[in-house]
Amino acid sequence: MLDLKFLRENPEVVKQNIKNKFQDRKLPLVDEVIELDVESRKTQQEADNLRANRKSLSKKIGELMAKGKKEEAEEVKAQVNANANRLAELESKETELLEKITKIMMVIPNIIDSSVPIGKDDSENVEIKKYGEPVVPDFEVPYHAEIMDNFNGLDLDSARKVAGNGFYYLMGDIARLHSAVISYARDFMINRGFTYCIPPFMIRSDVVTGVMSFEEMDAMMYKIEGEDLYLIGTSEHSMIGKFIDTIIPEEQLPHTLTSYSPCFRKEKGAHGIEERGVYRIHQFEKQEMIVVCKPEDSKMWFDKLWQNTVDLFRSLDIPVRTLECCSGDLADLKVKSIDVEAWSPRQKKYFEVGSCSNLGDAQARRLKIRVVGEGGKYFAHTLNNTVVAPPRMLIAFLENNLNADGSVSIPKALQPYMGGKEFIK
C-alpha cells in the first residue's frame, strides 16, 4: 500500500505507474482518494478544534459556578453539549472517510522500480541470463506423469476419488525423492545463514490482506468455513505475518528466514496437457525464503535471493534461466520481480519453478512492521523467494536426470538424502 502523503504530493507519478501496469481502470481512484483526503483532513481539523475547545469551556463552567453565575454556566454547558454532539458526528465521519480511503489505497498498485521493463503481461517478460547448458537427449522424454508411473510413484486416480482433481498420491522412490529435495533445500538455505522455521499453515484475514492484493486473495485462497482463517497459499504469508504490528530495533535487522510448509491454492481455469499431472495442483509443499530488512538493503537482498535459487538448481544438474517480470506481470504490491525457470527437455523450453519479489514497504505498511533506529521509526522492506516447490520441481529434476534405460541419476548433492543411492530404477 502506498503512503497517502506520497500520493497526495505526487498524483501524476501514481497515475503514470498505473498506466505502466496497464490498469487504466484504476486511474479515477487517485482523484477520488485526493478528494476524500481533503474532506478527511478538514473533518479532523474541525474535530481537533472542538476537542481543544472542550477543555477551555469546562474550565470556564467551573469559574462561572464559583462566582455564582449559574445561568451563564448553564449557557456554556449547553454549548458544550452541542459541541459534544457535533464531535460525535465528526468522529463517526472521520472513521467512515478513513475506511473509504484505506479501501481504495489497498487497490492502487505499488510504485514499480525504474528498472522494470514495461509490458502488458508475462509474454513480455525479459530474459536476463541462462545458467547451464540446455540438453535435449537423443531418446524420447516421456510426460512427467508417465515417468513417475514407471516407478509406481504416482496415483492420480485414487487421489481423484479421495479429494477430486488437482490432488495426487506420491509413492515409493518418487515420494522419497520429493522429501529428499525438500530436506536438501532446507539445509542448503541454513548453510547460507537463514534461520529455519515451520510456520502456521492457516492465517487470519488481517494477515491475508496485509501480504497480498484482493485480486490475488480471491484467486488463490481457501477460506475455512465459519472461522476467520485461510489456508496459506505459500509460507511467505505466515512468515511475513510473524512480524505483524511489531517495532524492530534496527540493529536486529535483517531477519532472514527459510520455511517449510504445505501450500493450498484454488488454481482456477483449464490447463494444457503439460500442466496436468502434478504441474498445476491444489496442494503442494514448498521451501521458501523471506527477508525483512532496512530499505537501503533491499536491492542487495533481492539479488541474493534469486541467486540462491539458481545455485540450488544448478547443484542438482538442472539448467535454469532468469526472467525480469515486466510491469503488467507484477502483482500490485510488488516493486520488482524475477522468475527462475527450469529447462524441460521434453517441451524443449523453460518453465517457471520459482519467483523472487521485492515488495518495498508495501506489506510492512499494511501490517505495521516498523523499525526503530537513531533517526526514528520507519517501515521495513520485505522480500520473498521460492527455494523449491516440488512436485513441480520434480518435473524438472526427473526430465533432466532421466537416462535412456528409464533410470534417473541422483546428483551427488542429493545422494545423502536418498540413502546413498546413485540411481533410482
Q: 234 a known binding residue?
A: yes
Cell numbers representing residue 177 in the block:
525423492
First to last CA, the chain: 51
Q: 384 a known binding residue?
A: yes
From the list 144, 150, 141, 142, the residue with the least C-alpha distance to 425 is 150
Q: 266 a known binding residue?
A: yes
Q: 355 a known binding residue?
A: yes
Q: 176 a known binding residue?
A: no
CA–CA distance from 82 to each of 50, 75, 85, 88, 93 (Å)? 10, 11, 5, 10, 17
Residue 97, C-beta contacts closer than 8 angstroms, at least 6 positions apart? 36, 39, 40, 43
Q: 124 a known binding residue?
A: no
b/e map 151-178, b = 16+ CB within 10 Å: bebbbbeebeeeeeebbbebeebbbbbb
Q: 422 a known binding residue?
A: no
Strand partners, 343: 350
Q: 354 a known binding residue?
A: yes
Per the CB < 8 A criterion, the answer to whether 380 and 359 are in contact is no
Q: Which residues are annotated as a binding site for ATP?
A: 265-267, 352-355
Binding residues for L-serine: 234, 265, 288, 384
Name the binding residues: 234, 265-267, 288, 352-355, 384
